[in-house]
A = this chain, B = another copy of it.
């Protein structure tokens, strides 16, 4: 893939054409920083808040309850099959808001740039963020840029922090809301994001390339809520994958969960790549997949909604909440029908996946 965008495809001009890389002075509060803001960020993220030139954005509360969430993105490589760090930085935070049952509204953006970063790379990332923001209906209303010395960063790190609105007073989504008997739903097939990144890093190629599942999740969650599904808990399956999400929720709620691996969709290419690299798809990171805990009586209806609305299109009911347990426990019935305990990995299979 190319890191140099065709300038004809950019909606915003590159700042000061004679300077093709980021310099320390771009973070210094002087005229180069002002140029970067005026010529790159403001045209791309154009909105009333940025145009006030204040150090913050002011707005009316978008809902009776708000959700606030933050994530920093340090993924390598910056561009990967199916996405890039800019898209990830918008979707990822939008998705964390969605997991609170919130409609995403406003994002802040903090860039930490490494001296020497090609300005064209930054412009491409900014374009990608703006496209993702438009797609998901969020406004990038305030931002900050720091530049660190060459060798003290890694191209681009991005923090996004999001505010969302929880529209309904009855929404109460958290691990401690999970009930014995709840069905556990998986929104789509596992492992694409992690394996797409891994394939690039390891120089693997497949007959059909694995594309990241990187996608926004607010729409399927809002669809569940608007259909009146009693959503008890949601979690997107990023670092640590499905296994870690299940263990975290089980521990936070003090419960036993049982899932059936035979119900978990994994693309053939992803399964093959995992086998080749000795990885378990249950632990591989996803960037557009989540689990939902809902009452068993509502599970079929919820799965139908997710199949229609969630990225992947292959949502499944994968297990249920057995009941209170101390210590907490997650069990899995394997492909060959054997039951085993699912634990957290000590670290992660793939560093810097997001």
A-side interface residues toward B, CB under 8 Å? 23-25, 27-34, 52-61, 63-74, 96-97, 99-100, 102, 106, 108-112, 141-144, 146-149, 151-154, 157, 159, 161-164, 166, 173-176, 235-236, 238-241, 244, 248, 252, 285, 343-348, 351-352
Contact present for A148 and B100 (CB under 8 Å): no
Bound: A97/B31 CA distance, A: 24
Known A67-B58, A70-B143, A159-B159: A351·B149 in contact at CB below 8 Å? yes
Partner of A68, one of B56, B96, B100: B56
Contact present for B60 and A96 (CB under 8 Å): no
Query: Could you list 12 A-B pairs, sorted by A, with CB under 8 Å?
Result: A29-B240, A30-B346, A32-B347, A52-B175, A52-B176, A55-B69, A60-B66, A61-B61, A72-B111, A108-B161, A110-B159, A148-B154
Which secondary structure dominates where chain A touches chain B? mixed
Which residue of chain B has the shortest Cβ distance to A52 in the bound complex? B174
Contact present for A110 and B56 (CB under 8 Å): no
Known A112-B74, A112-B157: A56·B28 in contact at CB below 8 Å? no
Contact present for B348 and A25 (CB under 8 Å): yes
Bound: A166/B230 CA distance, A: 35
Contact present for A148 and B74 (CB under 8 Å): yes
Bound: A343/B29 CA distance, A: 12
Partner of A97, one of B56, B244, B352: B56
Contact present for A141 and B55 (CB under 8 Å): no
Contact present for A71 and B144 (CB under 8 Å): yes
Chain B residues, Cβ within 8 Å of A60: 64-66
Bound: A187/B112 CA distance, A: 30
Which residue of chain B has the shortest Cβ distance to A141 in the bound complex? B68
Contact present for A58 and B65 (CB under 8 Å): yes
Minimum CB–CB distance for A18 against chain B, Å: 13
Known A70-B144, A345-B28: A149·B352 in contact at CB below 8 Å? yes
Contact present for B153 and A68 (CB under 8 Å): no
Contact present for A71 and B110 (CB under 8 Å): yes
Which residue of chain B has the shortest Cβ distance to A237 in the bound complex? B29
Contact present for B70 and A28 (CB under 8 Å): no
Minimum CB–CB distance for A133 against chain B, Å: 15
